[in-house]
Amino acid sequence: MKFDTPATRNPIDQLKVVGKPLDRIDGPLKTTGTAPYAYEQHEAVPNAAYGHVIGAGIAKGSIMSMDLDAARKAPGVLAIVTAANAGKLTKGDFNTAKLLGGPAIQHYHQAVALVVAETFEQARAAAGLVRIRYDRTGGAFDLTEAKKSAVISEREQPDIAVGDFAGAFASAPVQLDATYTTPDQSHAMMEPHASIAAWDGDKLTLWTSNQMIAWGRGDVAKTLGIPKENVRLVSPFIGGGFGGKLFVRSDAALAALGARAAGRPVKVALPRPLIANNTTHRPATIQRIRIGAAKDGTITAIGHESWSGDLPGGGLENAVQQTRLLYAGANRMIRARLATLDLPEANAMRAPGEAPGLMALEIAMDEMADKLGMDPVEFRIRNDTQVDPEKPERPFSQRQLVQCLRTGAERFGWSKRNAKHGSVRDGRWLVGMGMAAGFRNNLTMKSGARVRLGADGKVTVETDMTDIGTGTYTIIGQTAAEMMGVPLDKVVVRLGDSDFPVAAGSGGQWGANSSTAGVYAACMKLRQVVAAKLGFDPEKAAFADGKVSVDGRSVSLAKAAESGEVVVEDSIEFGDLAKKFQQSTFAAHFVEVGVDIATGESRIRRMLAVCAAGRILNPKQARSQVIGAMTMGIGGALSEELAVDKRLGFFVNHDLAGYEVAVHADVPHQEVIFLDEADDKSSPMKAKGVGELGLCGVSAAIANAIHNATGIRVREYPITLDKLLPHLPEMG
């Protein structure tokens, strides 16, 4: 099915099942610990051996020698895989670094060997017996230094210039020119990267934790040099990904190589240090923002430049992209530059681009409001736009940013905020409020599904779409139930298997909208087949309460399958609506903080997010995504930072003791409001994504609240107490 014009007769609009805050259908499996994650496929893969990955001890250089003798003789060892005996391996389409290094080393902890043994303990012990000699060479590990030689990325956008930015900025009565930095960050998902591989002749089955099954299948095939049809990926449950599992990593490739070498299934899970140093991470950024405005607050010039780094052949963190669309301004300059660094691979992490970009832009907007003597909410409203600022002829499909801001300000009690920074005390706490706008583009991707109708009246949906804890099982079930006129308990959802039709996958905030639209397309086809089988005009048939009806005559839905299961398959292909209309999602984030006047400790007191993100398919699940994102924003603002050893080139705090994410004690009262919205330019579901929008802008809102509480402006994340202590007033 091609979606290029809004549907006039859309069964989803009944909203009998879709749009309801229903419990997750996979909830009982999760809460009882019986959901089978990749490393836990005990019944599907009996007699699996264990692999332990050895990571490189240098960041740049080569392996001079690798002594495996003692490890080979260790108890239980079945095989040892290295680049020397693995055969020819090709770098996949979605990897900057090779998944098995040697003799050349590209980054610290790059996988260089896999030891396979009968037990995990034996594999780990034997790995400790491997002796490797390296030739270490110098590398580039400091973004500030590498920034000097940064270039335009061949893979990303060219420079953007609209009007005369330099002239308009120079002549603006009110100006801001400030530089902000965001650090390297880790995905820190609960479930590690883990895989089990089993060969049957020349065919490989890989149970793995992966967000994008079709991408992963292709990359595994390319890496191993085997036909794609000989690879099956299975990933029914994923314990968090945040973009870190968009791409196949060394656990999957080495499990496959280890299973081939050992002649039996092999399971591999990366330990936490290798997840930080041997998988992808969000790269650090340096961002310079210049804003010029008239005295009435109208922005006349806006410039945003960003620098980030990656391995050779990598891509940049496109932190400038939201600035192209979020605010009006006649004269604009947007530039992004990529530096070469020899740190672990940089790539997508929840809301890549917008998340770190808004960490800077929304502080800059707050600073500019201060300079103008304007309320920060009103300053943003003053500079709203309903069209693409670079292409005024291209309107937004829907844009309710102003409604988000006004609703949030009223609900949060923004009018009680004291505009005089550092003036509100609650005992030893300095108290302040801050806010920021949130923005994330809406992306769509071709997505397919197979739908089966059984003689028992049950509808089964099969698609390689994944559930990374976001509730995909439930919203796909809700979609099928709505379309076929059956209750949710009459729908079976099967996900995460490359034997199923290719779906959008989980990433980029495109998964929910695109995958349910694919199910919509398949169900529309099934409705036509079922109606015809029952002798009805498909255009007139109504599906409700397990029956098909036309003009007062009703027949059980199950009757269409009494002579055999009815199976159809279809996909949604998106036309050119995204070219005619700018499709985006918007939010307003409000935060109240307290800062201890003696210690500089910052505590979040309450948070509010108001989101405009199309039709909300399941408000309960969407709220869970947003409050999780808000919590992630707390970590991004106050604690999360991969500390780089700039001498040796690795992330020092590479475990969950040293890399500090927000925990329960950090999370205050959180409120989420979804504006009533249905975007018929987006998909037949009229939905958009929301899981990444919930993060975008949160950290800046916290930073702005800290400034309001203390009068101290911090432009370098995270905002740790050492950046506040020297500037706090004396206790009194």
Q: What is the pLDDT of residues 37-82, one digit of tens each?
A: 999 988 889 999 999 999 999 999 999 999 999 999 999 999 999 9
pTM score over 0.95: yes
The CATH number, out of the four listed (3.30.365.10, 1.10.569.10, 3.40.50.2300, 3.30.70.2190), of the domain defined by the range 353-442+583-727 = 3.30.365.10
What lies within 8 Å, CB to CB, of 686 at 6+ separation is 10, 12, 13, 614, 615, 678, 679, 680
477 within 8 A of 550, measured Cβ to Cβ: no
Residues making up the chain, counted from first to last? 732
Between CA 36 and CA 49 the distance in angstroms is: 18
Structure-derived torsion over alpha carbons of residues 95, 101, 102, 108, reported in degrees to the nearest 10 = 110
Coil/strand/helix, residue 340: strand
Q: Is the peptide bond before 718 cis (omega within 30 degrees of 0)?
A: yes
* pLDDT bucket at 732, cuts 50 / 70 / 90: low
pLDDT of residue 261: 98
Domain 2-35+444-576 identical in fold to domain 353-442+583-727: yes
Whether the per-residue pLDDT at 138 is higher than 90: the answer is yes
701 within 8 A of 638, measured Cβ to Cβ: no
| Amino acid type, 678 | A
486 within 8 A of 457, measured Cβ to Cβ: yes
Between CA 45 and CA 473 the distance in angstroms is: 24
pLDDT of residue 110: 98
pLDDT of residue 474: 98
What lies within 8 Å, CB to CB, of 475 at 6+ separation is 18, 512, 516, 617, 618, 621
Nearest in space to 339 (alpha carbons), one of 142, 483, 199, 206: 142
Between CA 131 and CA 123 the distance in angstroms is: 15
- 3-class SS letters over 297-339: CCEEEEEEEEEEEECCCCCCCCCCHHHHCCCCCCEEEEEEEEE
- Provide the H-helix boundaries in 564-607: 577-580
698 within 8 A of 709, measured Cβ to Cβ: no
Whether the per-residue pLDDT at 416 is higher than 80: the answer is yes
Q: Is the peptide bond before 11 cis (omega within 30 degrees of 0)?
A: no
Whether the per-residue pLDDT at 7 is higher than 70: the answer is no
| Amino acid type, 247 | F
pLDDT of residue 157: 75
Instruction: Read off the pLDDT of residues 687-704 as tens digits, 9 standing for 90 and up.
Output: 999 999 999 999 999 999
* pLDDT bucket at 590, cuts 50 / 70 / 90: very high
Catalytic residues: 692
* Cα separation values, 39 from 43, 404, 468, 659, 693, Å: 11, 42, 15, 24, 31
The tokens describing 3, both together, are 């979606």
The CATH number, out of the four listed (3.10.50.40, 3.40.50.300, 3.40.50.2300, 3.30.365.10), of the domain defined by the range 2-35+444-576 = 3.30.365.10
Other beta carbons within 10 Å of 168: 20
Whether the per-residue pLDDT at 6 is higher than 90: the answer is no
- pLDDT: is 707 or 155 the higher one? 707
Between CA 219 and CA 216 the distance in angstroms is: 5
The residue whose two tokens read 């702005």 is 704
The tokens describing 95, both together, are 């990897």
Instruction: Read off the pLDDT of residues 631-678 as tens digits, 9 standing for 90 and up.
Output: 999 999 999 999 999 999 999 999 999 999 999 899 999 999 999 999
Between CA 292 and CA 173 the distance in angstroms is: 7
Mean pLDDT of 555-580: 95
Between CA 513 and CA 616 the distance in angstroms is: 10
Boundaries of every domain in the chain: 2-35+444-576, 353-442+583-727
